[in-house]
Amino acid sequence: MMADPFPVQIESLKRGLSPSTHAHPRPLSDRDLAILLAIDQYRYLDRDHVTDLFFPGRRSAELCLKDLLWRELIYRWPVVRWQGSPIKPSVYGLTSSGARRVAQLRGQDPRPIRDRARRAREQTYHLRHDLEANRFFTKLAAGARDLPDQGLYHWLGEATCRAAYERDGSPTSDGWGRYLLADREITFDLEWDRGTEHARRIRQKAIGYVAYFRGRRNAALNHVLLVAPTRVREGELHDLISPILPQHTNLCRFWTTAVETVSAIGWLGAVWLEITGPPGRYAFADMPGYPRGIRAANDSIAKGRWWDRRPGGGEGA
């Protein structure tokens, strides 16, 4: 459980700051605006997420976040300790003022963005799950930062995936990604499992993916990545999903891994085991994908000054 479910009040955050430090605040930088945009797109980001996406080190990220707090553009939840786990970094969400700045950046009506920010602050039931799912994407992006010809180019957040479901019936995942390799693009949906989902719900989600992709052209080039907390739970996911996958049918591929496996190898290593597939674990670089398009790997998320070339953020073109 969180130590305190309510945001720290802004006034308490100002204490101890030198008034002269912000007597003439600098204009917001493109990186500042990109951070606000990312918090809107992904609902919650903690200090380590922000560091992975935008900074070479933790200290510079902390200074930037402190400045955005002073400007009252973001909220901060205090440092939290989940039951049975070490202390986690502080978590950030948009204030109403921050939502208005995002609306100005996009040229949109601020009311939906402001309402979305308010719901994120007030409805924190799935906070831990969302932070862990977001960490998958930020670590994947940061892991490819210095790799040539590859990187995480697109990351669509859970809210965007849900809107896509309401629009065209596509599966509601915890996020969708496009990972660029030298000769192809890997597209995938993420399903982050904390080991608490009921078996019936897991099967229903898998059936939904099968129904959506079944018979579609190049269906097998779409991947569903399921991350379990332990290898025991990973085995349970195979037992639950294998029986519902039709044989000799063109459909998406289901892959699993466990957090404990990734902790030892890393997200870009050979950690993925295909459900009903051949034995042995695969890396992203081993998976089939679509032919590489015109997108530049150097513009991928977490690359040097990527936000300058991607004004729409990780969800943008």
Which among 101, 110, 105 is positioned nearest to 74, based on CA atoms? 101
pLDDT given at position 100: 96
Beta bridge partners of 222: 187
Give the chain's domains with CATH numbers: 10-125 (1.10.10.10), 130-291 (no CATH)
Per-residue pLDDT of the chain (317 residues; tens, 9 = 90+): 333 333 433 333 334 443 434 555 789 999 999 999 999 999 999 999 999 999 999 999 999 999 999 999 999 987 666 666 667 789 999 999 999 999 999 999 999 999 999 999 898 888 999 999 999 999 999 999 999 999 999 999 999 998 888 888 888 999 999 999 999 999 999 999 999 899 999 999 999 999 999 989 999 999 999 999 999 999 999 999 999 999 888 999 999 999 999 999 999 999 999 999 999 999 999 999 999 999 999 999 999 999 999 999 999 98
CA distances, 280 to each of 116, 130, 270, 272, 277 (Å): 42, 29, 9, 8, 9
Q: Residue 230: which residues within 8 A CB-CB, separation 6 or more?
A: 195, 258, 259, 260
Which among 106, 165, 161, 147 is positioned nearest to 267, based on CA atoms? 147
pLDDT given at position 230: 96
Give the span between the Cα atoms of 233 and 227, in whole angstroms. 9
Please report the DSSP string for 157-215 in residue order.
Answer: -HHHHHHHHHHH-----S-EEEEE-SSEEEEEEEEE--S-S-HHHHHHHHHHHHHHHTT
**Residues 193 and 228: beta-carbon distance below 8 Å:** yes
Element (H, E) at 302: none
CA count, 13 A, side-chain hemisphere, 292:
14
**Residues 41 and 160: beta-carbon distance below 8 Å:** yes
